Amino acid sequence: MLRKTRSLILHLVSACGNGAIALLRVSETYSPDNETQLIVSAIPEQAHQSDSEAMKKVLNDLHQNDLLPKEMVADTAYGSDDNFCRCKMFGGELAAPVPGMCSEQKASGEVFIETDFPFEEREVTDGYGKKHIHPFITSCPAGLTPHRSHYHHCIGKMEILHFPETCENCALRSKCPVRYACGWMIVTLHAKPLRMSQRRKEQETDDFKVKYRQRSGIESTNSLLKRVTGLGRLRVRGKASVFQSLLLKVAGWNILRASSSMRLMASLKGLSAALAGLIQSLVNQFQMKAFHPQ
């Protein structure tokens, strides 16, 4: 029922049980290729849990159930750079607005910052055979190609190396954060502002706006979960009972969604008819052997 090319929407539902507020982090499919859209991950948490730290739990849950998406849409609370990198590690893409102010607005313009250096992402293989996506600087603000561009994965920084004679006559030398060390002109940059700058540019495109438009429609699922299953007002108390009730209500919601799908019900009827025919055939063979022993 769920295709291999999965797309998920991550959203938050609040529930109330005897005065205590609980949160339910729900991941729901939105691919038009599915017969119906189902909730594939539901993680209940207490109300003080941070949204930005929840992505790791969601991805681990999806990974354990072999339901990792190729694309996940979420709101700004889940759009941090750490969550973006986590999704890439699991082989997916996170479509979420970048939180915080744009670094270009905070720059004075007197010196170059990370976003002034053009870069591209390349796939590299480490000594253990594991593949990673690392950023590499393609040129400096003056348009000069560096002799070498290296990314330090452990500290999240990049270094570009130029020959000293390349930078000596550069007209932009006074604005460049370059330093001389070990016979090279070296510029050290942080990778995080580069990724966030690229994401800010992407979220202004029409493709991102069309993709993120799916996020606004998920609020109807929040409302229906509360009105149809009573998730907004639970009749139990205690953390274990509240969490169990939340998961059972989500399971019931998936059953309602599946039963309302005409295509799914048609396929189930065809399967039940085939099973009935197989069972009748086995019964007839048993009767023939019982009444006509060899």
Q: How confident is the model at residue 284 (pLDDT cuts 50, 70, 90)?
A: confident
Are 153 and 180 in a shared domain?
A: yes
Are 44 and 69 in a shared domain?
A: yes
According to the model, what pLDDT value does residue 109 have?
A: 59
Instruction: Compute the C-alpha angle 174/178/182, nearest 5°.
Output: 135
The C-alpha atoms of residue 197 and residue 188 are separated, in whole angstroms, by: 17
Instruction: Compute the C-alpha angle 26/32/33, nearest 5°.
Output: 105
Average pLDDT over residues 18-31: 76
Question: Does some domain include residue 272?
Answer: no
> pLDDT (tens digit, 9 = 90+) per residue, 134-173?
777 888 888 888 888 878 777 778 888 888 888 888 888 8
> pLDDT (tens digit, 9 = 90+) per residue, 117-139?
887 777 777 777 777 777 778 88
Domain that holds residue 223: 7-97+203-260
The count of domains in the chain is: 2
Q: Is the pLDDT reported for residue 292 higher than 70? A: no
The C-alpha atoms of residue 8 and residue 1 are separated, in whole angstroms, by: 15
Question: Does some domain include residue 289?
Answer: no
- Spell out the residues 6+ positions from residue 160 whose beta carbon is closer than 8 angstroms to its own: 117, 137, 140, 146, 148, 149, 150, 186, 187, 189
Question: Does some domain include residue 60?
Answer: yes
Are 187 and 107 in a shared domain?
A: yes
Angle, helix 81-89 to helix 55-64, in steps of 10 degrees: 10
Are 217 and 184 in a shared domain?
A: no
Are 88 and 159 in a shared domain?
A: no
Are 19 and 93 in a shared domain?
A: yes
According to the model, what pLDDT value does residue 19 have?
A: 52
Question: Does some domain include residue 238?
Answer: yes
Are 80 and 139 in a shared domain?
A: no
Specify the DSSP element, H or E, that contains 9. Answer: strand 7-17
CATH number at residue 69: 3.30.420.10
Decide which of 115 and 81 is more confident: 81
Percent of all residues in the chain with a pLDDT value above 70, rounded to a whole number: 83
Q: Is the pLDDT reported for residue 55 higher than 50? A: yes
Are 208 and 171 in a shared domain?
A: no
Are 129 and 166 in a shared domain?
A: yes
Question: Does some domain include residue 222?
Answer: yes
Are 167 and 37 in a shared domain?
A: no
Question: Does some domain include residue 86?
Answer: yes
Q: Is the pLDDT reported for residue 247 higher than 70? A: yes
Are 117 and 248 in a shared domain?
A: no
Specify the DSSP element, H or E, that contains 149. Answer: strand 148-152
Q: How confident is the model at residue 25 (pLDDT cuts 50, 70, 90)?
A: confident
> pLDDT (tens digit, 9 = 90+) per residue, 197-231?
788 888 888 888 888 888 776 777 888 888 888 88
SS3 of 265, please?
Answer: helix
Are 189 and 214 in a shared domain?
A: no
Question: Does some domain include residue 284?
Answer: no
